[in-house]
Amino acid sequence: MINYYEVLEIADFSSHEVIKAAYRKLSKRYHPDVNNGDKVCEERFKEIQQAYEQLRNPNTKALQDDWLRNGQLPEDDAADTPPGYHPPSYEYESDKRWTTWAPMVLTGLLVLVCRMALNWGIEWRRASIQQKAVPVVDMSTILQRAAAPGNQLPVIKAGDTHEQVQQLQGNPDEVKKYGSEEVWYYHNSLVNFKKGIVISYLDTDGVLKVRENIKVHP
C-alpha cells in the first residue's frame, strides 16, 4: 500500500490545506504540458493525482491516518487501494437523463407488446370463426327439392325442429351458438338452426340423413 502523504512530499496526518497546497505545487511541477510529454513526469503526475484524490476524501484519509497511527501500513506497495475504499463515482448529465427516461421507455414498449398480442388474438378468433362459417341456403330451393317425387324416406330438411333432427340423426357430437343461430356438428357435417328451426345443413362427410348436400347462396 502507498503512503499518499509521502507521494505529496508532506508530513503524515497533514491538514486539508497543506494537502491542497502540496497538490497544486507538485501538479504544476510535473504536469505533462510543462515537461514536453516526459513519461517519467507523466507517471509522477498520475501518482500525485491519485494521492490527492485519496487524501481529499475524509473517509479514505481517516482510514490511512488510522493505519499510520496503529503501525499497520504494509512496507510493500502491492495494494494501492485501502480495504473498503470505493473510487468516487461521477454521475454525468446523460446518465441522469437515461435514469429518468428508461422507466417510461420500458413502459411504452410493454404497452405496445400487449396491444399487439391483443390484436393478434382478436384476428385469430375471427379467422377461426370464419373457417366454421355456416353456409347460407335458400329456403325456397330446399322446400322445392324436399317436395320432389320419390323422396319418401324421412330426411332432415329446412323447417325441422330440434326434436325432429334428433329423432333422425341422434344426438350431435358438438353444439355451438353464434348469436341467434345454433349449429349441431356430426363429425365434420353440420345442421344450422335459427330460433329452433333448421335453416341450412352441410353434409361434408356423408353422415347426415339428407337427400343431397345443397349449398345455395342468396
Residue 213 belongs to some domain of the structure: no
- Is residue 92 domain-shared with residue 41, that is, in the same domain? yes
Residues 76 and 159 in one domain: no
- Residue 147: inside a domain, yes or no? yes
pLDDT over 90 percentage in the chain: 41
Domain count, the chain: 2
CATH number of the domain enclosing 33:
1.10.287.110
- Domain shared by 2 and 91, yes or no: yes
Q: Are residues 146 and 70 in the same domain?
A: no
Q: What is the CATH number of the domain that holds 151?
A: 3.30.1450
The reply to whether 2 falls in a domain is yes
Residue 154 has pLDDT above 50, yes or no: yes
Residues 11 and 78 in one domain: yes
Q: Of 61-70, 96-105, 120-129, which has the strongest mean pLDDT?
A: 61-70
pLDDT in tens, 165-203: 999 999 999 999 988 899 999 988 999 999 999 999 998
Q: Looking at residues 128-156, what average pLDDT do you find?
A: 62
What is the reported pLDDT for 125? 80
Which tens digits make up the pLDDT trace of 9-56?
999 999 999 999 999 999 999 998 889 889 999 999 999 999 999 999
> Do 75 and 163 share a domain, yes or no?
no
Question: Three-state DSSP class for 119?
Answer: helix
Whether residue 137 contacts residue 198, with contact meaning beta carbons closer than 8 Å, is answered with no
Domain range spanning residue 192?
Answer: 139-202
User: At which of 46, 63, 97 does a domain end?
Assistant: 97
120 three-class SS: helix
Written as one letter, the residue type at 74 is P
Statement: residue 87 has pLDDT above 80: no
Does the residue 109 lie in any domain? no
For residue 57, the SS3 value is coil
**What SS3 class is residue 197?**
strand
Identify whether residues 81 and 160 lie together within a single domain.
Answer: no
Nearest to 191 by CA among 199, 216, 206, 129: 199
Q: Does the residue 143 lie in any domain?
A: yes
- In this prediction, residue 71 carries a pLDDT of 72
Q: Is residue 216 part of a domain?
A: no
**pLDDT tier, 163 (very low <50, low <70, confident <90, very high otherwise):** very high
Characterize 126-138 residue by residue with b for buried, 16 or more Cβ atoms within 10 angstroms of its Cβ, and e for exposed. eeeeeeeebeebe
